[in-house]
């Protein structure tokens, strides 16, 4: 099994790249989905989040109020670090389990770990290749405003809460420029898939 990390800032087009790689046959392990799974109602992680940040981040039905939690931590590095200290170990453990399941199902397959916070949580790096989805911060702010309904201030706070472009690009073995058209992004992904065996062989 080949394990590829795919990362990028919020609104960088990372999910578009992941979907295209899945069309080519890669197995996608979605870190954001794992975060939601480990924070499910009744989970130990959700209990620790409530203990740390208060019951106001829990909805009446027992699920996490993501908007309330986001309002507390984004723009507050100390609170964000406390949240990450709770969530990241659980996500890492579950991710590793899913990698193992994928490897057992297809020992020769390609697994892509779709992970937004790779630069922020580099405790363990098993990746054979790191692919970075890159669009300038101003482009991503514009997308958050136009596509997700954020105010400009909210969008800038979300972008600022993540690693810098330079931090992510420093990790990259391959950069996909997502600032252009969808067709241009998909063309780059198709080219990456065609080159993938050679790239992996060169790093073996």
What does the pLDDT look like over 161-196, one tens digit per residue? 888 999 999 999 999 999 999 999 999 999 999 999
Supply the pLDDT for residue 90: 95
Supply the pLDDT for residue 91: 92
Q: Consult the annotation and say whether 142 binds a ligand.
A: no
Q: Decide: helix, strand or coil at residue 177.
A: strand
Which DSSP string do the residues of 78-144 spell out, in sequence order?
HHHHHHHHHHHHHHHHHHHHHHHHHHHH-TT-EEEEE-TTTTT--S----SEEEEEE--HHHHHHHH
Alpha-carbon distances, residue 191 vs 6, 24, 198, 203 (angstroms): 15, 11, 12, 18
Q: Looking up tokens 């050679």, which residue turns up?
A: 198
Q: Consult the annotation and say whether 137 binds a ligand.
A: no
Q: pTM for the whole thing?
A: 0.88
Q: What average pLDDT does this structure show over 71-93?
A: 91
Supply the pLDDT for residue 121: 67
pLDDT higher than 70, residue 18: yes
pLDDT higher than 80, residue 96: yes
Cβ atoms of 165 and 137 within 8 Å: the answer is: yes
Residues in a beta bridge with 112: 4, 28
Q: Decide: helix, strand or coil at residue 134.
A: strand
Supply the pLDDT for residue 122: 60
Give the residue extent of every domain in the chain: 1-26+109-203, 32-107
Fold identical between 1-26+109-203 and 32-107?
A: yes
Supply the pLDDT for residue 74: 81
Q: Consult the annotation and say whether 70 binds a ligand.
A: no
Q: What is the pLDDT of residues 105-155, one digit of tens each?
A: 999 999 999 998 888 766 557 899 999 999 999 999 999 999 999 999 989
Q: Consult the annotation and say whether 43 binds a ligand.
A: no
CA nearest neighbour of 159 among 171, 78, 151, 189: 151
Q: Consult the annotation and say whether 15 binds a ligand.
A: yes
Q: Looking up tokens 């723009």, which residue turns up?
A: 75
pLDDT, greater one: 204 or 50: 50
Q: Consult the annotation and say whether 79 binds a ligand.
A: no
CA nearest neighbour of 131 among 17, 11, 16: 17
Q: Looking up tokens 């992680």, which residue turns up?
A: 45
Helix and strand numbers, DSSP H then E, in the chain: 9, 5
Q: Does domain 32-107 have CATH number 3.40.50.300?
A: yes
CATH level 3 topology of 1-26+109-203:
Rossmann fold (3.40.50)
Query: Which pair of structure tokens corresponds to residue 46?
Result: 């959700």
Supply the pLDDT for residue 133: 98
pLDDT higher than 70, residue 45: yes
């Amino acid at each position: 099994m080949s394990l590829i990390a795919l990362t990028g800032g919020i609104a960088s087009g990372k999910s578009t790249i992941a979907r295209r790689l899945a069309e080519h046959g890669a197995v996608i392990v979605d870190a954001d989905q794992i975060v939601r799974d480990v924070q499910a109602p009744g989970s130990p992680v959700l209990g620790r989040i409530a203990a740390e940040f208060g019951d106001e981040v829990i909805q009446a039905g027992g699920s996490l109020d993501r908007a309330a939690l986001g309002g507390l931590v984004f723009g507050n590095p100390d609170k964000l670090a406390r949240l990450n200290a709770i969530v990241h170990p659980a996500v890492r453990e579950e991710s590793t389990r899913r990698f193992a399941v994928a490897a057992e199902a297809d020992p020769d397959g390609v697994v892509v770990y779709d992970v937004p916070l790779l630069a922020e949580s580099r405790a363990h790096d098993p990746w054979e290749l790191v692919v970075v989805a890159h669009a300038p911060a101003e482009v991503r702010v514009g997308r958050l405003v136009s596509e997700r309904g954020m105010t400009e201030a909210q969008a800038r706070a979300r972008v600022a809460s993540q690693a810098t472009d330079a931090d992510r690009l420093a990790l990259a073995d391959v950069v996909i420029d997502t600032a252009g058209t969808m067709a241009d992004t998909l063309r780059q992904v198709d080219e990456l898939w065609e080159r993938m065996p050679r790239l992996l062989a060169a790093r073996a």
